[in-house]
Amino acid sequence: MMTPSKLLIVGGFLGAGKTSFLCTAAQTLTQQGKRVALITNDQSSDLVDSRLLSLHNFPVEEVSGSCFCCNYPAFAEANKRIARNGGVDITLAEPVGSCTDLLATVVRASEKHLYDLLQTAPLTVLADPARLASILSGETAGLQPDGAYIYRKQLEEADVIFINKIDLLTPEQALDLQTRTAQTYPAAVVMTGSALTGEGIGEWLDVVTGQLQEFGKRALEMNYSAYAKGEASMGWLNGTVVLQSDEPTDWNDFARRLLAKLSARFEERKLTVGHVKVLIESGTRYVVANLTGAADTLSVRQGTVDTAKLTLNARVDIVDPNRIDRFNELIKETLHEACGDQYRQQVLSWSCLSPGAPNPTYRYMP
């Protein structure tokens, strides 16, 4: 009989750094001799996260078209495919960043329906320091009130809250934020670290793969009407475009210019960025760029490539779902402006939507 895989679900709001965190965790586990697989999740296909993790040579399954909770059969089938392919020691799962109520709809559902394949672990929620500090102060982190409601519920149900990106804070600031978080959410283990530097990842793995007692037992009271409004306020765009030029290109610079232009457009319209991700790739070479808030959050890393396929994911609080067409045009216009006359574009796929109301397949209370 196959030994069940340990299931580590890492949630958290858009821009918390979940993909980078899981990549670092997967690398750490692999170095320890563990077999690792990852499951990503999105409301649409063409996900930067899946491609980026695949480029690191990790086996990746993707549940697209809806969240884990609303399409639990697809999540279950992804785990079954992993098992059929030989199984792994650890499965790392990254739910959609605007999802919550994961204990009832995914963790407990897995305990009931996938008990022979998975051993559930404490639910981790990643938090960006700036947004977390705003939420702890009673503000909304720039989100609509219903979006902030989702953020708070994510923290409320967490067994482990991991404050990411502490490389952006002083030690005193990190300790103060950790203390305030622990006071506000006393049922959670509160940890700090950085996916970028690797700080705290090993300690986190020790906690969630160890023998933490009494996890996942809380009953989360959910206002699904507020949850639905919070999801609907987000504009969700995924696109894949081939870019061709007759001139040599610095794709690092192109990615930076594109995100800087998008950031300026969003700030002009007072729209709050959840995250914008760009992956430009050719074979195994790639450039990855992220925007997780205002312009000063823009980051570009990795090397240059010769020719390019660009994958763009944008998650932005557009306030009113009726503005989705304008949001779509704004992204297209900005991409065309960044390309100018130098680049020819071939659109392989393009989708833009506001998420529908959450309708979980299962919801099990303790």
Q: Is residue 194 part of a domain?
A: yes
Residue 321 corresponds to which amino acid?
P
Summary mean pLDDT of the chain: 94
pLDDT of residue 55: 87
CATH code where residue 94 lies: 3.40.50.300
Write down which residue in 178, 206, 227 finishes a domain. Answer: 227
Convert the pLDDT of each residue in 58-117 to its tens digit: 999 999 989 999 999 999 999 999 999 999 999 999 999 999 999 999 999 999 999 999
> What is the domain range of residue 78?
5-227
C-alpha span between 151 and 143 (Å, rounded) = 9
Residues 187, 325 within the same domain: no
Count of domains observed in the chain: 2
pLDDT of residue 56: 87
| Whole-structure pTM value | 0.95
Q: Is 161 exposed, middle or buried (0-12, 13-18, 19+ CB in 10 A)?
A: buried
pLDDT of residue 69: 96
Query: Which residues does residue 10 pair with via DSSP β-bridges, in sequence order?
Result: 124
- The string of DSSP codes covering 97-131 is TT---HIIIIIHHHHHHSTTTEEE---EEEE-HHH
Q: Is residue 184 part of a domain?
A: yes
pLDDT of residue 63: 96
Q: Is residue 309 part of a domain?
A: yes
pLDDT of residue 14: 96
C-alpha span between 292 and 18 (Å, rounded) = 12
Nearest to residue 70, comparing CAs of 353, 314, 357, 274? 357
Residues 317, 244 within the same domain: yes
Residues 166, 244 within the same domain: no
